[in-house]
Structure 1
């Protein structure tokens, strides 16, 4: 009987060890009465970042699982957990906290730390990122990988890192790429919305910093006549006006063919796929078939469609490596397929962000030493401002299919 007792005890201990690394899918259920452990007592003396091994023991994933950001949050969560389950060997515990259950993200963070987290991923909204960064240093010793950035985050500790898929990164890299290719005078065509304004502003700032000229910027509406926008971009209307003026002066019929302006050596475009498929043929029609076109990732749907994407032949664009590199793309699509039915392009990109967010928790110390991580959303490195910098891949559309270029 004594031997049977020790046998049962051994089996129980083995079961505890095996379950130790399993995902704990408990969600934060509000806890509105929970008070921060930082208010009445000092944070434990050990510095969580200094004590952090290559892999954390427990990760708190802070996401808004209801409300306006819920769809984005769920895509990131699914990518995060897919990456988690794909990992072999010992894994950390993961606990998911719904930040919409409490109006104060600092309390959610405090609860996560109290329940054993030694690494925090999230929050997602800009406002929550800023709010969390305002905790006093003694209360913010646990590493944080925030999933957005806020310009007000200025004095957070070095282990408070911001990771985002902001359009500014793409715009700046397009400016750098175009400059390296020898272009100096650019015209921009972007959507007439906040995203378009941010893209244009980031490109213009980076381009002018290098010494480039902005010839013209046109803001378009996808529901309106695209040919009018292209004529404005290329100066066709001004050319026609000059011809009409000459005709009036001469009072006779004059043979005339409109010309595009000749001082543009690159066109920079941000547009969704359907709009891009209209704009590129119009560039060619209005005599700009010889002008190179550089674009944001928005022009590509993320799924090969040679029949439709022949209309964007010749466009050079930047994007996540997994959407351009065949091998990496195959691995990512396997993860996505395991997760269910086909999803939108936005879902797939946020899913990829979740995949990299998990991987960054196990490569956090390497980032701090300047080592890059080759992620699915880009080659990731820690910038001087504690932002994750994404180095994107480049492709040129050939016969309707993105082909990787240097």
Structure 2
């Protein structure tokens, strides 16, 4: 209301002064980002990461209309387009044209043409997973989800072979190449992904099942249930609902810190003030002034204990969101009523039907790998099959996405699979699905 009053007092002349100033600032940010992008390919290591962060920060200054317009004006091949396109996708906005893919090739090994819906799987797929050792349980859930999608498809399917990465991801990849696979899915660990992506021109393209510090080479892609991506989705949810001052409270686990940190960065880049990014047990009262939204990066029992502390501190924000970890340690509605009103990103499979998948309850009755926390990795494995089968469509079509078990899947200009999650809200102590997407 105060802003409207000031606007009325200032009169129309203020609009004529302010609008060109804003336009000039946004044009300057776009031009600076374009100059940085021209030199990006020649950088490596920390310098490359810092340059990318600077470009993303500059693009974050642009409003939706300006970002869409200026991205559409970039010529084909301009290195800024991949950055601008990813920013558009993260905001849920359409691309003006497909990404510039360069040397991607889907014709290897005599692969038949795509079906009308874009289905075009490879001919032989090698899957790299830690089938033995401490990560074998996680790998089993991913494997079973992948196989559920694979055997649920009635059309032509690739030959499928599994390779244990317990002896090293590079060795497993070399065996997969030597045995004639024309596509590889995996590995699963972040350090293994960096190891196989160290070669900028791999003999056989990969769909890595995690995201390391290296950009996927041309023709390859990376898919991850990244805590950072979840943080960005939460930030976008808050931005679209007009949040102006957000309090972030997080636990001490690595995934919790990563989600909270990514959300904070995205909010600040988009001009939202972060009142604090604090841990559980912090004094909240000094941070309460003006808070209109709260983001919780913690498990359910921690959130239940925190809710009355927020009230005692005078924080009564109507908009409350949480990472997907909030469902951990829940399941008793009488206790979980303390979480009512909290919205969190969820896997689509847990709340509604997914084509090609039995219901989660049905799958859990038959497979231990589809129960409890493992169900998320099962859904991830199913989606890895979808990306493998529809990668050409995702890579080459304009604004293509596929409905998966973990959300709607698309591919950015750097080969990263992006995921628009479904959303749920606690009501009466139980999660209730909301409409798809954050918009």
TM-score band by shorter chain is: 0.7 to 0.9
The aligned residue for residue 409 of structure 2 is 380
The aligned residue for residue 364 of structure 2 is 336
Cα distance in 1 for partners of 2:328, 2:155 equals 35
Residues 320 and 378 in structure 1, CA contact (< 8 A), matched pair in contact too: yes
Q: 3-state SS of the aligned residue for 1:363? A: helix
Residues 425 and 434 in structure 2, CA contact (< 8 A), matched pair in contact too: yes
Match of 2:311 among 284, 289, 298: 284
**Backbone CA RMSD of aligned residues:** 2.4
Match of 1:210 among 245, 270, 292: 270
Matches within 5 A, 1:215-364: 215-220=275-280, 228-229=281-282, 232-235=283-286, 261-301=288-328, 305-325=332-352, 331-340=359-368, 343-345=371-373, 347-364=374-391
Q: Normalized against structure 1, the TM-score is what? A: 0.73
Cα distance in 2 for partners of 1:268, 1:163 equals 25
**Deviation readout 1:107-145 (Å, 9 max, x if unpaired):** 3212212212121100111121111112352xx242311
Per the TM alignment, residue 385 of structure 1 is displaced from its structure 2 partner at its CA by: 1.9
Per the TM alignment, residue 234 of structure 1 is displaced from its structure 2 partner at its CA by: 3.4
Per the TM alignment, residue 309 of structure 1 is displaced from its structure 2 partner at its CA by: 2.3
Cα distance in 1 for partners of 2:317, 2:330 equals 27
* 2:205 paired with 1:148: no
* 2:174 paired with 1:88: no
Matches within 5 A, 1:161-180: 161-180=221-240
Please tell me whether Structure 1 or Structure 2 has the larger radius of gyration of its CA atoms.
1
Cα distance in 2 for partners of 1:380, 1:308 equals 34
Residues 121 and 147 in structure 1, CA contact (< 8 A), matched pair in contact too: yes
Cα distance in 1 for partners of 2:301, 2:228 equals 22
Per the TM alignment, residue 71 of structure 1 is displaced from its structure 2 partner at its CA by: 2.1
Residues 294 and 317 in structure 2, CA contact (< 8 A), matched pair in contact too: no
Residues 125 and 158 in structure 2, CA contact (< 8 A), matched pair in contact too: yes
Q: 3-state SS of the aligned residue for 2:288? A: coil
Is the alpha carbon distance of 1:292 and 1:333 closer, same or farther for their aligned partners in structure 2, counting shifts above 3 Å?
same
Cα distance in 1 for partners of 2:434, 2:372 equals 26
Cα distance in 2 for partners of 1:310, 1:191 equals 21
Residues 196 and 219 in structure 1, CA contact (< 8 A), matched pair in contact too: no
Cα distance in 1 for partners of 2:402, 2:418 equals 10
Residues 301 and 329 in structure 2, CA contact (< 8 A), matched pair in contact too: no
User: How many residues are paired up?
Assistant: 320
Q: 3-state SS of the aligned residue for 1:275? A: helix
Match of 2:185 among 108, 111, 121: 121
Q: 3-state SS of the aligned residue for 1:49? A: coil
Cα distance in 2 for partners of 1:161, 1:390 equals 14
Residues 106 and 135 in structure 1, CA contact (< 8 A), matched pair in contact too: no
Q: 3-state SS of the aligned residue for 2:394? A: helix
The aligned residue for residue 131 of structure 2 is 65
Cα distance in 2 for partners of 1:372, 1:302 equals 33
The aligned residue for residue 31 of structure 2 is none
Match of 2:396 among 366, 369, 375: 369
Residues 301 and 330 in structure 2, CA contact (< 8 A), matched pair in contact too: no
Q: Normalized against structure 2, the TM-score is what? A: 0.68
Residues 348 and 354 in structure 2, CA contact (< 8 A), matched pair in contact too: no
Residues 48 and 118 in structure 1, CA contact (< 8 A), matched pair in contact too: no
Q: 3-state SS of the aligned residue for 2:107? A: helix
Is the alpha carbon distance of 1:297 and 1:157 closer, same or farther for their aligned partners in structure 2, counting shifts above 3 Å?
same
**Deviation readout 1:135-193 (Å, 9 max, x if unpaired):** 352xx242311001111x13x43221010001111111111111111111111110123
Is the alpha carbon distance of 1:113 and 1:168 closer, same or farther for their aligned partners in structure 2, counting shifts above 3 Å?
same
**Deviation readout 1:180-214 (Å, 9 max, x if unpaired):** 11111111110123223212210111001100111
Is the alpha carbon distance of 1:59 and 1:303 closer, same or farther for their aligned partners in structure 2, counting shifts above 3 Å?
farther
Per the TM alignment, residue 302 of structure 1 is displaced from its structure 2 partner at its CA by: 9.7
Residues 49 and 142 in structure 1, CA contact (< 8 A), matched pair in contact too: no
Per the TM alignment, residue 355 of structure 1 is displaced from its structure 2 partner at its CA by: 0.8
Residues 129 and 148 in structure 1, CA contact (< 8 A), matched pair in contact too: yes
The aligned residue for residue 84 of structure 2 is none
Is the alpha carbon distance of 1:60 and 1:319 closer, same or farther for their aligned partners in structure 2, counting shifts above 3 Å?
same
**Deviation readout 1:76-96 (Å, 9 max, x if unpaired):** 112111222222243322111
Is the alpha carbon distance of 1:302 and 1:322 closer, same or farther for their aligned partners in structure 2, counting shifts above 3 Å?
farther
